[in-house]
Amino acid sequence: MRSIRTFLVIMLLSVVTVGNFVAAVRGYLGSMEQSEQLFNERMRHQIDLLNYSLPLSSAHDRSSQLAASFPAPLSKSGLFKSPSGLEFQWVDRSGALLAKSELMPDQAVAELAEGFRFVNFSNHRWHVLVAPSADGASWFLLAERADQRYLLAESMILQAVYPILFAIPVMGLLIWLALGIGLKPIERMAQDLAQRKATDLHPLPDQHMPRELKQLARSANDLLRRLDASFARETRFTADAAHELRTPIAAMQIHCDNLASSAPHDAVSMRKLQSSVERMGQLVEQILILNRIAPDQLKGSFQALNLSLKVRQVIAEHSGELAQKRQQIAFNGEEVWIMGDGFAIESLLNNLLGNAIKYSPDAGSIEMNIWLRGDAAVLEVMDNGVGIPADQYERVFDRFYRVGGDRHESQVTGCGLGLSIVKNVAELHGARVQCAPSRMGQGLLVMVSFPGGFSALDPRAGKAGVGP
């Protein structure tokens, strides 16, 4: 059931249609029975008219009186034409023909016994009334074609049935409109929930809701309260974790550095300890960043961001690492703006550039490019490092996944969350991220396409006060 409104319209129309059909069938059968009685009564009245207008004085008088009773011209053969759809024979007691209408045969069409019966003649089935004359000296046989009688009866009955059939579509439209009005509160509730931000968990107002929706609203409000409490606990946990984990890890790093200065330079255990502490610090930082940029926990609202400026700022922040590894970096592009969250975009850029620095060799090359392609802002980060096999391009975006695991050929420590954060930020902004071979001969190219990019000349640029 995809639509309650459609379901209710179909069900109500089905009930109405079936009810009308049953009523129409019963009405049709009852009307046919009543019409049969009316037609029979008409034939009896016609017999009375014949009795009244046909004195038995003479054959000539009979013919003239019949002409008056059935007002149609007398044919050359002396036969009467009947415009009323009734045909007759007038016979004496022995069955000898005294007069007839032109469609009747010369012999009596039915046995001379009073009553109604069906008779076949002249290639048709006839409904015949046999009745004696008023003086009992002769008989009248009045006939009417059965098919014409039924057609006439059906035409009268269908005139009453057709309005019911034509009313069904109108009733369907009225039911559709009425249900639309009745379902408005559900639509308003859905719009209220759809327009809310992910962090807006205040209860739904239920003061003016219909009785049927109040229970749903109460259940939804109970769920919103539980979600609000859960998010509050998670926020407190994140803040506590940031404080409780960063402090001891920083202390461990300081002590490791102190020990390293006094330990032999080739001490393998010390190097492993330093690497483990560094990896632990990276893991904690990445987990906290990943939690902060989750859609349900994102506190900042989107605003106009100068993506080119953000890239230059991130390059400046990583200048020490670039100098330490003697790596060359080039930035090419125009002033491109997007609508987004500043912290999330910085996290994306830091992870992309950080990966490029870590996995590129000493004295390696890194290139970052930005341009507008139609209405999309395209960001490229390219290096000449070890790269990623093509069959792993999609897998590397999974959380905690690293190509080769801890035995990565670059020997660089990592936790497998960097590209997962990149993908989360891209999805948060409706962007598409994909990997490809680097154009430097070896290495990796990561390309992110943000929808709705615009230049510095666009009126939206600068509204948020974020600019060069």
Domain interval for residue 139: 4-155
- Distance in angstroms (rounded) separating the CA atoms of residues 217 and 214: 5
DSSP single-letter state for residue 315: H
* N-terminal to C-terminal alpha carbon distance within the chain: 54
Q: DSSP H helical segments within 183-210, as ranges?
A: 184-195
**Percentage of residues of the chain with pLDDT beyond 90:** 16
Segment 190-217, tens digit of pLDDT:
787 777 776 677 788 777 777 777 778 8
What pLDDT was estimated at residue 150?
75
Segment 62-87, tens digit of pLDDT:
444 444 444 443 333 344 555 467 88
Ranked by mean pLDDT, which of 73-87, 111-125, 230-244 comes out on top? 111-125
**Contact predicate 316/350, CB 8 Å:** no
Q: Answer yes or no: is pLDDT of 158 > 80.
A: no
Segment 312-345, tens digit of pLDDT:
999 999 999 899 999 999 999 888 999 888 888 9
- Distance in angstroms (rounded) separating the CA atoms of residues 425 and 433: 10
Please indicate, yes or no, whether residues 295 and 305 belong to a single structural domain of this protein. Answer: no
Segment 17-65, tens digit of pLDDT:
787 777 777 766 777 777 778 888 888 888 888 777 654 433 444 444 4
Please indicate, yes or no, whether residues 325 and 413 belong to a single structural domain of this protein. Answer: yes
Please report whether residue 168 resides in a domain: no
Residue 400 token pair: 């905690």
Domain boundary residue among 275, 299, 323?
Answer: 299
**Contact predicate 156/30, CB 8 Å:** no
What pLDDT was estimated at residue 204?
80
Q: Which helix (H) or strand (E) holds 338?
A: strand 336-340
Please indicate, yes or no, whether residues 118 and 238 belong to a single structural domain of this protein. Answer: no
What pLDDT was estimated at residue 70?
45
Please indicate, yes or no, whether residues 305 and 264 belong to a single structural domain of this protein. Answer: no
Phi, psi of 297 (to 5 degrees): -110, -5
pTM given for the model: 0.49
Domain boundary residue among 124, 155, 186?
Answer: 155
Beta bridge partners of 434: 447
Please indicate, yes or no, whether residues 80 and 116 belong to a single structural domain of this protein. Answer: yes
Determine how many CB atoms are found less than 10 A away from the CB of residue 428: 18
Please report whether residue 442 resides in a domain: yes
**Contact predicate 124/87, CB 8 Å:** no
Segment 363-412, tens digit of pLDDT:
999 999 999 988 899 999 999 998 888 888 888 888 777 775 554 555 56
**Contact predicate 421/415, CB 8 Å:** no
**Contact predicate 28/157, CB 8 Å:** yes
Segment 272-300, tens digit of pLDDT:
676 667 767 766 766 666 666 655 555 45
How many residues are recorded in the chain? Answer: 468
Residue 49 token pair: 């008219």
Please indicate, yes or no, whether residues 241 and 291 belong to a single structural domain of this protein. Answer: yes
What pLDDT was estimated at residue 213?
77
Please report whether residue 184 resides in a domain: no
Please indicate, yes or no, whether residues 126 and 109 belong to a single structural domain of this protein. Answer: yes
Q: Answer yes or no: is pLDDT of 444 > 90.
A: yes
Please indicate, yes or no, whether residues 236 and 100 belong to a single structural domain of this protein. Answer: no
In 3D space, the residue among 384, 420, 385, 390 whose CA is nearest the CA of residue 402 turns out to be: 420
Query: Cα dist. 58→99, 107, 141, 142, 389 in Å?
Result: 12, 21, 20, 21, 123
Please report whether residue 286 resides in a domain: yes
Kindly report the average pLDDT of the chain as a whole number.
Answer: 78
Residue 224 token pair: 């919103």
What pLDDT was estimated at residue 74?
36
CATH number at residue 369: 3.30.565.10
CATH number at residue 230: 1.10.287
Identity of the amino acid at 63: S
**Contact predicate 322/357, CB 8 Å:** yes
Please report whether residue 188 resides in a domain: no
DSSP single-letter state for residue 80: B
- Distance in angstroms (rounded) separating the CA atoms of residues 458 and 451: 15
| Overall average pLDDT of the 241-262 stretch | 72
Angle 355-359-362 (CA atoms, 0-180°, nearest 5)? 125
Domain boundary residue among 121, 155, 189?
Answer: 155
Could you give the angle at which helices 146-182 and 4-53 cross, rounded to 10 degrees? 150
What pLDDT was estimated at residue 309?
92
Please indicate, yes or no, whether residues 336 and 292 belong to a single structural domain of this protein. Answer: no
- Distance in angstroms (rounded) separating the CA atoms of residues 449 and 380: 9
Q: Residue 465: helix, strand or coil by DSSP? A: coil
Please report whether residue 170 resides in a domain: no
- Distance in angstroms (rounded) separating the CA atoms of residues 209 and 188: 10
Angle 366-370-375 (CA atoms, 0-180°, nearest 5)? 155
Confidence category of residue 231, pLDDT binned at 50, 70, 90: confident
Please report whether residue 220 resides in a domain: yes
DSSP single-letter state for residue 101: B
Q: Which helix (H) or strand (E) holds 382?
A: strand 376-383
Ranked by mean pLDDT, which of 136-145, 396-405, 413-422 comes out on top? 136-145
Please indicate, yes or no, whether residues 276 and 230 belong to a single structural domain of this protein. Answer: yes
In 3D space, the residue among 333, 291, 339, 288 whose CA is nearest the CA of residue 315 turns out to be: 333
Decide: residue 421, CB within 10 A, 0-12 exposed, 13-18 middle, 19+ buried: buried
How many structural domains comprise the chain? Answer: 3
Please indicate, yes or no, whether residues 213 and 102 belong to a single structural domain of this protein. Answer: no
CA 372 vs. chain centroid, Å, equals 35
Q: Residue 368: helix, strand or coil by DSSP? A: strand
67 Cβ neighbours under 8 A, 6+ residues apart: 74, 80
pLDDT higher at 168 or 104: 104
Q: Which helix (H) or strand (E) holds 218?
A: helix 211-262
Query: Cα dist. 38→113, 122, 149, 153 in Å?
Result: 22, 25, 11, 10
